[in-house]
Structure 1
Amino acid sequence: MDKKNHDSEWYTHSKLSNIQDSTGNSRVSNFVAQVHTLNTLHFIVGICQIFMGLAIIMASILGFINPLWVSISFTMVASITTMIGLYFLYITVSKSYDSRSLLRNAMKRVMKAKN
């Protein structure tokens, strides 16, 4: 190879670290690789959103939030947050059991293999 190809931005010298080498070393990237799909992450986020909304509602009912208008406003926001969390959880679970997802995933694997 001539000097022009060695100085190209597409060429990685053997002494330099590759992008894949640098991302494979962190704990976060290992965790994301183990989770493998966003459905698991969405499921966890939905459960946390439901739990936090119900915790605020329980704190409001038990009287830990003293001014009544603050307690009512927190209860309303927490109720809406809980409903959104339930809907998010429903969408995540129904998407994972979709009959067309097998075909869609196969098409994605074929496209990745071609690239």
Structure 2
Amino acid sequence: MPQYAILIYSPAPADPMDLTPDYVELLERYPAQVEELGGRAVTGFALQSSTTATSVRGDVITDGPFIEAKEVIAGFMILEAPDLDIALQIARLNPATRDGGAEVRPLFVPPME
């Protein structure tokens, strides 16, 4: 089954430990919703605030993300889904996309000899 990365964007640096009970309930239901659509969550994590980021560009290492932006990457998940349409439906169900957004990309799996 094809695999997809969902990059989850948040409008502000969020503390993943500061979750409301309603949000926790949505997160707990999410895996079952993924399975109902024929997908399977492989892995996923919330990221610590972008203030903890360290960026590498060539030989230069700097504190913080590459650019200042209105949205930051708040987390990611890898999932298996029958096709891109199902992966997009799964991304739309993710509670984090209600205030932010998500980018869905097929994973590139190099051929193995």
* TM-score with structure 1 setting the length: 0.21
Which has the higher Rg, Structure 1 or Structure 2? 1
Which of structures 1 and 2 has the larger relative contact order (alpha carbons within 8 angstroms, sep 6+)?
2
